[in-house]
Amino acid sequence: MERAAYDRNSAVRRPSVVVFVALCAFACGIDAIGDGRTEEPALSDGDGGSSSSGAASGSSSTSSSTSSSGGTGDAAGDGPIPDGARPDAGVLFIPSHIGPTAYRVDAPDIVGVVTIDTATLEIDKGSGPALYTYFVQENGIAVLSTGAFTVDVALVVKGFRPLVIVATGNVKIDATLSANGHLNASGPNGMIPLFGFGGAGAKSGNDFGGGGGGGSATDGALGAAGSASAAGGAAGTLFDLDGTLLLGGAPGGAGGHAANTECSATSFGGGGGGAIQISSVHSIVVGASGRIDVGGGGGGGSCVGSGGQPRGAGGGGGAGGMAYLEAIEDVTIKAGAIVAANGGGGGEGSDKNSAGDDGNDGPLSALQATGGAAAGAGGFGGLGGSILGIPTTGIANQGAGGGGGALGRVFFNTRATAPAAVVEPTAVVSATTTTKHDF
């Protein structure tokens, strides 16, 4: 059964014309969406505070219609469109990891946003978080619809859901977009991957094994042993190498620690890096000053408890997450730009006199995160993974070091008729990279 499309210019149903355009676009690899999208102003302070029932409940949006007042609203009578040909767009456009009706084609441009919260479905342009009509969730994924999308100020993505940004215009990243883990705080979805958790270190008397590093594109590193009877935590294993699922990096395992002491909260595993996807009908450009950070968090260093004995081992580093960049036309990483999914360093164990240092978060560079390494005699934490090296095991001691977290993943996806992603000389992509043509 043919489904009618809404013509915004004449407000009449013209199924044959739009279906023809969609089929032509699909066959020729061209994009017709830009000519049919309603022009709306870019999101500014106060614009995003609309709290429709669809956004508040997290339900998927449907195709849009023009209201009697001239604005846009939900077409209540149309319902979800079951196939991938968005008739209101005029082009076959199905972003990866979400359904064809999870996004909207009438969203305004977005610029100047400082926070995106995938848990509350709120965005903040500096004046406080607010619900946004074009921000919904589908099957556990937060989906933000926009026209053009520009990152011109530092932008932090947080929350437990992975994020998909669907842009019907061009995407330009000229500042830092952060979706990384920081110590035991995970990036979006870095807390709840299905696989790859680093194992917890064991304890035996006053000996404590370090936590294992989280897995992602590679295995994490083993936690160091506190003794023959206090093994280090298992390394988190690699998973989902082809990007079938939109998943962040796995957290590191906790270091072994004495029960019922103040140190039990400090030997934490590092949080996993987040999972973000940007899908553009046109192009994605990460400019010379642009940064995308989905690195893992550093493992915790253990503290010194009472009794003059080491009280714990370091936690394992969190693994780097996933950045999935897809565009119909092209994806370009300009010279000087950085896209990083580095693993976090392992935490340091304590000795009887000194607390251990936390491991460092995965850096926004090609370098490996260093593990905790204070001046005391506790075992140092291992290095996190980067393009310069695999994650390493911590140093064995009574309070042993945690293992480093694994390197994460970057995917570049373009149309088969478009060129592959371009990474210019001196640009840094510290991740395992996969190029696809199935968008």
Where is average pLDDT lowest: 143-147, 216-220, 292-296, 303-307? Answer: 303-307
- 63-99 tens-digit pLDDT: 333 333 333 233 333 334 334 445 455 556 789 999 8
CA distance 342 to 329: 28
Three-state SS for 402-416 is CCCCCCCEEEEEECC
Q: In angstroms, how far is the first alpha carbon of the chain from the final one? A: 25
- Contact (CB, 8 A) for 153 and 175: yes
Kindly indicate the confidence band of residue 306, based on its pLDDT and cuts at 50, 70 and 90. low
Name the percent of the chain in helix, strand, coil, to the closest 5. 5, 25, 70
Tokens of 419: 């060129």
Backbone angles phi, psi at 177, to 5 degrees: -105, 110
pLDDT digits (tens, 9 = 90+) for 171-195: 999 999 999 999 999 999 876 667 8
| C-beta of residue 359 within 8 angstroms of C-beta of residue 313 | no
Please tell me the pTM assigned to this model. Answer: 0.80
Give residue 85's pLDDT: 41
Q: What is the mean pLDDT of residues 405-421?
A: 89
> What would the pLDDT profile of 217-249 be if each residue is shown by its tens digit?
999 999 999 888 889 999 999 998 889 999 999
CB-based contacts of 297, cutoff 8 Å, min separation 6: 180, 181, 182, 183, 184, 185, 186, 251, 252, 270, 271, 272, 273, 317, 318, 344, 361, 362, 405
What number is the average pLDDT over the span 319-347? Answer: 96
What is the biggest distance separating any 2 CA atoms in the chain, rounded to whole angstroms?
A: 81
pLDDT in tens, 110-121: 999 999 999 999
What is the rounded CA–CA span in Å between residue 248 and residue 233? 21
Give residue 203's pLDDT band: very low, low, confident or very high (50, 70, 90).
confident
Residues 6+ apart with CB under 8 A from 18: 5, 7, 87, 90
Band of residue 45 on the pLDDT scale cut at 50, 70, 90:
very low
**To the nearest whole percent, how much of the chain has pLDDT over 90?**
56
CB atoms inside a 10 Å sphere around CB 20 = 12
Which neighbouring-strand residues pair with 412? Answer: 325, 435
Amino acid 123 reads I
Question: Which position has the token pair 């294992």?
Answer: 212
Residue 17 main-chain phi, psi, to 5 deg: -65, -50
Collapse the DSSP code of 162 into the 3-class scheme (helix H, G, I; strand E, B; otherwise coil) and give the result. Answer: coil
pLDDT at 397: 81
Question: Average pLDDT in the 280-289 region?
Answer: 95
C-beta atoms surrounding 377 within 10 Å: 15
Chain-wide mean pLDDT for the chain? 80
Q: What is the dihedral of CA 190, 194, 196, 200, to 10 degrees?
A: 80
Q: CB–CB of 90/124 below 8 Å?
A: no
Angstrom CA distances, 101 to 12, 28, 114, 293, stand at 21, 23, 27, 29
Residues 6+ apart with CB under 8 A from 122: 115, 116, 129, 130, 131, 132, 135
From the CB of residue 205, how many other CB atoms can be counted at a distance below 10 Å? Answer: 12
Q: Which region among 25-34, 326-335, 370-379 has the lowest average model confidence (pLDDT)?
A: 25-34
Closest by CA to 71, choosing from 44, 106, 109, 103, is: 106
